[in-house]
Structure 1
Amino acid sequence: SPNNGSDFIRTSCAATLYPELCYTSLSSYANAIQENPARLARVAIHVSLFKARLMAMYLSNQSRQADYGADPRAAAALHDCFSNLGDSVDEMRGSLKQMRLLGESSSSGSFRFLVSNVQTWMSAALTDEDTCTDGFEDVADGAMKEDVCDRVANVRKFTSNALALVNSYADKG
């Protein structure tokens, strides 16, 4: 069978913390990615951004329904988490802009600069997702806390994988 880039994706995903998730979330883009590490990193950021945006929308709905009187800590944690996810989304959007500029740049100096911006912003996105769940440490255990923390932990896996693929691309560049 002709290799449409899926072997490249599997091999590249081996460098991530969640290789199986990495492969399953990116393999459907194999034709677009081919064997291009820049495209692979860009698609991984796109997927991560999509997951983070869905999570932010979910948190926005949860936050609107939160009863501030009944559980002010939980309501505050939800609000802060929504804010963190919003920052994470912005950082990933910024990363994609830098990745587009990378495609247009030819000098190695600007490559280093742009790719280090992407590394910085994707790291910040990951930190924001961690900060979100940290905010629930003082919240009593319950369905809402467990649900939000599980969902954010899942989003975080996509962001972690995207950062790892950006780092691989930076090393190759």
Structure 2
Amino acid sequence: MFYMLVLVIIIGCTTTTSGAPTPTSMDFIKASCKTTLHPPLCVRCLSAYAGSIQGSDHRLAKAAVTVSLNEAKSAASFISKLARVSGIKPREYQAVKDCISTMANSVASLSQSVQELEQMARTTGQAFEWHMSNLETWVGSALTNQNICSRGFVVNGRVKDAVTKRMVYVSQVTSNALALVNRFAVRHRKGIHKP
């Protein structure tokens, strides 16, 4: 059963296309993704959103956090399924249960982040700084919880390998989202962003 579960793991951005991308919007995404730790992954995950991003730092950050939320939900679902696999060792089972809890926190933080981004589309000054502080805290917290999940497995084996591989990917997507949120903040403060 475990082998079948692992075979169904598809690591890839779970996005939907929103508008036709233009060369200009793809150039914007590529340039923005250079500020992340994982540029090729960033471009791949956000290319489906190019048509709706249209050079907007705010919409780029929102798309990146949305992708991160979708990937975190997918990983949480995968880990929940692992808890029901027969033959899992007791220590692995406990690590999986702990991981389910930390991933629930990660999903909650990213959900709050998407909501915060929706509210800050046209904010400025102190209101922007307050929303941005919340946003950076929540995305950072989501990333921390993802890292805690992958470090919780002390028993080597297939379960640890499967969870670690999945969590490394999700953490990279979330790290990219945090970098693009920070980029949005810097460009907004300098007045060089497009709403």
TM-score by length of 1: 0.92
Q: CA deviation at 1:4?
A: 4.1
What residue number does 1:156 align with?
A: 171
What is the aligned counterpart of 2:125 among 108, 112, 116?
Answer: 108
Report sequence identity in percent.
Answer: 38
Work out the CA distance in 2 between the residues paired with 1:117 and 1:22.
23
What residue number does 1:61 align with?
A: 81
2:69 equivalent to 1:52: no
Work out the CA distance in 1 between the residues paired with 2:86 and 2:133.
39
2:35 equivalent to 1:15: yes
In structure 1, runs of 5+ residues without a counterpart are none
What residue number does 1:129 align with?
A: 146
Work out the CA distance in 2 between the residues paired with 1:126 and 1:142.
24
What residue number does 1:40 align with?
A: 60
Q: CA deviation at 1:3?
A: 3.0
- On the 8 A contact 1:53/1:89 being kept in 2, the answer is yes
What residue number does 1:72 align with?
A: 90
What residue number does 1:169 align with?
A: 184
Q: How many residues align?
A: 167
Q: CA deviation at 1:66?
A: 5.1
- On the 8 A contact 1:4/1:30 being kept in 2, the answer is no
In structure 2, the residue corresponding to 1:103 is in which secondary structure? coil
Divergent runs of 4+, >4 A: none
One-letter amino acid matched to 1:135: G
**Equivalent residues in 2 for 1:77-96, closer than 5 Å:** 77-96=95-114
CA RMSD of aligned residues (A): 1.2
- Cα deviation code 1:134-163 (max 9, x no counterpart): 111x22x11111011011111111000000
Work out the CA distance in 2 between the residues paired with 1:120 and 1:71.
35
Q: CA deviation at 1:164?
A: 0.3
- On the 8 A contact 1:66/1:75 being kept in 2, the answer is no
One-letter amino acid matched to 2:132: V
One-letter amino acid matched to 1:118: L
Q: CA deviation at 1:65?
A: 2.1
TM-score by length of 2: 0.82
